[in-house]
Amino acid sequence: MCRGKWNKQMCLIMLLVGIASLLYGLLSFLIIQPEGHSQNTLLGMFTGFGAGICAVAVFRMIREKVVSKEKLEQEEIDRQDERNIAISRAAFSVGYCVAFGLIAVLIFLFMGLGYPVPSYICLAVLYLTAGAAFIARKVLEKKM
């Protein structure tokens, strides 16, 4: 989302998604008035996530108006440069490996602490990310 091409239509879609999430979190909190801590936290996360997406979309809209066309075109050329793409992919690969290792550590940590449900959730996430990486690799190998 942050590195992709942001045009006016994408900014408007993200702004609408952010507003929807923000309003859902706020209105649910005001109407339901949850008593549990976890429900309050979840509604706060919806509100914060929506506000963050709105801020990014508004910032990108303003930036497109302020920054010159030449600079925007140069940034697009830099973004599509093969060297920068290779660097980004290498960085994402390292990030994936670190996240994979951390989730594996969390699985053992939760089981050691006697929390099987979070451990099973982490295990499911681990399998999903490994499966997604495997599928992405096969798809990219066919394209190359």
Domain assignments of the chain as residue spans, ordered by start: 1-80, 81-144
For the stretch 118-137, pLDDT in tens is 999 999 999 999 999 899 88
- For residue 106, what are the contacts with CB-CB under 8 A and spacing of at least 6? 118, 119, 122
Residues 16-34 have a mean pLDDT of 91
Local structure of residue 81 (DSSP, 8 states): -
Calculate the alpha carbon distances from 89 to 57, 65, 86, 92, 138 in Å. 25, 30, 5, 5, 16
Residue 3 clears pLDDT 90, i.e. is over it: no
Local structure of residue 114 (DSSP, 8 states): T
